[in-house]
């Protein structure tokens, strides 16, 4: 297992207070579990996010899935982002942030959520912070799935999705490393990063994630 253990213990005083069952004779309100899962294309973010959703009963928000649906339905937004996505480039921040803010306002996000594949840059993370601050004091946690590039290429070619050409995949991985490596360092400095070895079986990866989340919500 590969973890940044500081994610489990960050905010010591706040965590101690949250652990109290009662304060002034009243039971404390449950704090929602708010997660971000990041990793290169093919790391298994969607698969793990679905497993987390099933166990912890929180909303799974995949910006990629939302955007692909818009493209497939040929909506105004879909037509606007289609060429960008086919080139393996990032959709404009303001578009994705607007989608996320609207999605987080839906009832199923009240008890928590997991953001799958967003943010990808520090700028996006900074744009996300005021949106999350409206939701109260719940701590965000960031799961980072690490997978070697050659394994990513094998996985992505094997799934045979229309936009998964070899050239596009190579560009996506390149863009990921260029844009997202600073984001990982950004969250690590905040003490909320959980590093996980994604080059394992689906069940082994989930076991590693689950062990950490169990400690966080205890």
Give the tens place of pLDDT for each residue, 70-112.
899 998 888 888 988 888 787 888 988 988 998 999 999 988 9
pTM across the whole model: 0.75
In the predicted structure, residue 161 carries a pLDDT above the cut 50:
yes
DSSP-assigned letter for residue 148? -
**If you average pLDDT over residues 109-123, what whole number do you get?**
90
The predicted structure's pLDDT at residue 196: 97
CA–CA separation, 11 vs 154, rounded Å? 39
Domains of the chain by start residue, with CATH: 6-61+111-217 (3.40.50.300)
Of 203, 208, 99, the C-alpha closest to 143 is 208
The predicted structure's pLDDT at residue 11: 39
The predicted structure's pLDDT at residue 15: 38
The predicted structure's pLDDT at residue 26: 45
The predicted structure's pLDDT at residue 6: 31
191 Ramachandran zone, left/alpha/beta (phi>0; psi -120 to 50)? left
Task: Give the residue with greater pLDDT, 8 vs 54.
Answer: 54
Residues involved in catalysis:
45, 120, 159, 161, 172
């Amino acid at each position: 297992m590969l973890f940044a253990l500081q994610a489990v213990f960050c905010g010591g005083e706040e965590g101690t207070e949250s652990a109290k069952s009662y304060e002034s004779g009243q039971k404390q309100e449950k704090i929602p579990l708010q997660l971000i899962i990041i990793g290169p294309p093919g790391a298994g973010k969607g698969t793990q996010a679905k497993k987390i959703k099933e166990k912890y009963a929180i909303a799974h928000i995949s910006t990629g899935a939302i955007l692909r649906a818009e493209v497939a339905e040929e909506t105004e937004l879909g037509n606007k982002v289609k060429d960008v996505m086919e080139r393996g480039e990032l959709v404009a921040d303001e578009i994705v942030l607007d989608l996320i803010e609207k999605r987080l306002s839906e009832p199923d996000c009240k008890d928590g959520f997991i953001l799958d594949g967003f943010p990808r840059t520090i700028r996006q993370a900074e744009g996300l912070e005021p949106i999350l601050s409206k939701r109260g004091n719940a701590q965000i946690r960031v799961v980072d799935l690490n997978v070697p590039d050659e394994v990513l290429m094998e996985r992505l070619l094997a799934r045979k999705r229309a936009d998964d050409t070899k050239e596009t995949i190579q560009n996506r991985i390149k863009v990921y490393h260029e844009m997202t490596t600073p984001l990982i360092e950004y969250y690590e400095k905040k003490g909320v990063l959980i590093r996980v070895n994604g080059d394992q079986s689906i069940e082994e990866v989930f076991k590693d994630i689950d062990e950490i989340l169990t400690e966080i919500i205890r």
